[in-house]
Amino acid sequence: MKEKRKLKLKKFYLHPITIFILLTLLTVILSGIFSVLGIQASYSTINSSNNQLENVLVTVENLFSYDGLKYIISNAARNFISFTTLSTLLISLIGVSIASASGLFDTFIKKYMAKMSNFQITFLLIFIATISSLINEVGYTILIPLGAILFKAVGRNPMAGVVAAFAGVAFGYGATVFVGSMEVNLISITTQAAYLVDTTTHVSLTSNLFIIIASSIILSIVGTFVMEKLIVPKIGRIHEKRDLATSEYSIIPVDEQSRLEQELLEKKGLRNALIAALIVAFIFIYSIIPGLPLSGMLLDMEETTYLGQLFGSNSYFQDGFTYMVSIFFMVTGLVYGFSSKTFKNDKDVAYKAGEYLSDIGSLIMTIFFAAQFIAIFRHTNIGTIIIAWGANIISSVNFTGIPLILLVLIVIAVVSLFSTTPVAKWTIMAPVVVPILMQSNISPQFAQFILRAGDSMTKGYTPLLAFFVIYVGYLNIYNPRKEKPITIGMALRWLTPYCLIIGLTWILITVGWYLIGLPIGPGVYPTV
């Protein structure tokens, strides 16, 4: 009887592709039901020309109809092609595959990270992932593959590296160590909303600098403990950490002479790769310095400020950063491979790098169906309606101080499950949230940080996040039990402790900073 029950339960381990298809069908059906019920919402936007509020009515787009089905079929290819997650992933993997195939990663880890503890390695990965939001979502496509490679190289379960990298980027998205693309995208919205109360308000690019630096460190420390104590034991271990000096990645010498020759080749490869890395880094840095001969190639010179030139919507640096990182890994990997003789010719490069990419076929299939689900959900306007409802809830209460801050945080966190883009949420919510907080003596700069915190609290806990599919896909690439795929539900369960504890940490940082009254940036405080 028990055996029959177990066999029956196995049928529910649905592959993520199947789940994305079912989610798409559910979205289409719900759009029809909501449209018939007349579900809608209204919200206010700010007219940038006169700084006046304009009311917008949004209704559910019915896709469970003749025209709706035509839209789904005719836009399938466009949805896939325009899904930037796929292109950025493939671009980053080109460089990662060459560097991995050359042996650069294994040798680097063996030489510089062999003596680091599990906690130190996990902290390093999560910290880099957390601050990667400095440049949009580049961390997802680069650090998830690297997290798996790093953990596997030190004898740990690579799926734990995937979880750590994804969680660090997604749940720490609002924290970084310097002014980045998020400030450039949000400041104009925050300023316009603040003008509804005070036209002399100035929101600077560095207005959140102190608090986001502190948040990045705190979140990385807390995240490391959550990973090591709560999540890694659930995922399980492949085997114990081994001494990398005698690991399987080292070539077993026939005699002492062979061992010494191999060590010399590895040292030569690392030295030459380091020189190449410095040259490539210098070229990239030079290309973002304005005013020098032939410099500024990657800047948008139509912008008036340097940060606008660097992180603006038309910035060549921001748009091309993933490719720049890929080039960095390509060059250093090639230099190491030919110097250490792991690459003998161009055919070696193509064949060995292609072997690394051989496992992503199922991931590309999963991305196709995830792209359809996300595009169809956005087209229904359900997410926009939920954002508007959230703004209306905040405007309907009479809270002040900490209760108001907590309400805004929670509403934004819930809304983020259905809309993962900070700008989309802030465009609708800022005209409501910022004036209400200012009337409660809370500065618009701190309101912007509350948006960052609330957005990050649940950002990674939804399949509507475009990069969630990379997380699930890589879990299945490294899943040793192919007959029992890692489902979306299982992937979310592994994230649950991280989401809850990091969410609480965001709340404590926000409320604690408000109570203590520390500056959140140069000359900027939580209160007006």
- Whether 352 has a pLDDT exceeding 50, the answer reads yes
Rounded mean pLDDT of 424-429?
94
Give 133-159 pLDDT, tens digit per residue.
888 788 999 999 999 999 999 999 999
Q: Are 444 and 521 in contact (CB under 8 A)?
A: no
Position 119 scores a pLDDT of 95
Number of Cβ within a 10 Å radius of residue 141: 25
- Please write down the HEC assignment for all residues of 98-160: HHHHHCHHHHHHHHHCCCCCHHHHHHHHHHHHHHHHHHCCHHHHHHHHHHHHHHHHCCCCHHH
Most confident by average pLDDT, 201-210, 343-352, 375-384: 375-384
Please report which confidence band the pLDDT of residue 238 belongs to, taking 50, 70 and 90 as the band edges: low
Position 249 scores a pLDDT of 41
- Whether 60 has a pLDDT exceeding 50, the answer reads yes
Cα radius of gyration rounded to whole Å, the chain: 25
Average pLDDT of the chain, as a whole number = 90
Name the nearest CA neighbour of 314 among 299, 325, 324, 304. 299
- Whether 187 has a pLDDT exceeding 70, the answer reads yes
Residues 6+ apart with CB under 8 A from 266: 103, 107, 111, 340
Beta-sheet pairing, 52-59 with 40-47: antiparallel
3-state secondary structure of 419: coil
Provide the CB-side half-sphere exposure for 329 (13 A, CA): 25
Give 249-270 pLDDT, tens digit per residue.
444 444 667 777 778 888 999 9
* Distance of alpha carbon 413 from the chain centroid: 16
Position 141 scores a pLDDT of 93
- Whether 245 has a pLDDT exceeding 50, the answer reads no
Rounded mean pLDDT of 61-68?
94
Q: Are 349 and 101 in contact (CB under 8 A)?
A: yes
Residues 6+ apart with CB under 8 A from 57: 40, 41, 42
Rounded mean pLDDT of 424-437?
95
Q: Burial code of 415-449, b = ≥16 C-beta within 10 A, e = fewer? A: bbbbbbbbeebbbbbbbbbbbbbbebebbbbbbbb
Rounded mean pLDDT of 326-331?
95
Rounded mean pLDDT of 155-170?
96
Instruction: Give the length of the chain.
Output: 528
- Whether 353 has a pLDDT exceeding 60, the answer reads yes
- Whether 291 has a pLDDT exceeding 90, the answer reads no
